[in-house]
Amino acid sequence: MQKRKFLKPDLYADLLTDIDFDVWREKGIRCVLVDLDNTIAPWRNTQITDEGKAMIVKAREAGMVVALFTNAPEHRAREAAWNAGVGYFHSAMKPFPGKYKKAIRELGVSSSEIMCIGDQIFTDVLGGNLMGCVTVLVPPISEREFSGTKILRFLERFLAGRKLFFKKKPCPNSNK
């Protein structure tokens, strides 16, 4: 039996739209839980980027259910989910298992049928891996983020050896 590396994603993707959801559907993935801040929307913003919207369309075309899975409070998660046209799980406290278990129960899937997509190793990847989900790590949209996240970014570089590259192209709908 192979040991699971909890800080290593199953897939690195430079762009959300690089993920081949048809291939993952064939591997048994039925649901996508996607992070909000700096993954499909700029930090503290509820407007979903064009890339985020395109990713949602691709996942749905592959027959997957898509939902936001975020540490953001309910009011921001609800507005962002409405803008994206998806369901949501707010105040997730990633990487802790509580909201993952709730999502699994409410979505009616097993953890091995879930793909977790996010921009942080110590929240998105670690949480998904601890639950047995497929994990995808993407570069953060911008350098603007929560101060606590900046500390985690340092740890990502130091402990996990992540070479961090922020997306260089401008973010549509970012309201900078």
**pLDDT score for 114:** 98
**pLDDT score for 3:** 47
> Which CATH number does the domain housing residue 117 bear?
3.40.50.1000
Task: Let me know if residue 17 belongs to a domain.
Answer: yes
User: Helices (H) and strands (E) in the chain — how many of each?
Assistant: 6, 6
Q: How many domains does the chain have?
A: 1
Neighbouring residues of 124: CB distance < 8 A, sequence distance ≥ 6: 35, 39, 94, 95, 116, 117, 118, 135, 137
Task: Let me know if residue 99 belongs to a domain.
Answer: yes
Number of residues that make up the chain = 176
Task: Let me know if residue 170 belongs to a domain.
Answer: no
Task: Let me know if residue 53 belongs to a domain.
Answer: yes
Burial level of 115, CB count in 10 A (0-12/13-18/19+)?
buried
By the 8 A CB rule, do 111 and 9 touch? no
**pLDDT score for 143:** 62
Task: Let me know if residue 30 belongs to a domain.
Answer: yes
Task: Let me know if residue 49 belongs to a domain.
Answer: yes
Task: Let me know if residue 172 belongs to a domain.
Answer: no
**pLDDT score for 4:** 58
Q: What stretches in the chain show pLDDT beneath 50?
A: 1-3, 164-172, 174-176
Residue with tokens 């409070």: 73
User: Which residue range is the domain that position 139 belongs to?
Assistant: 11-158
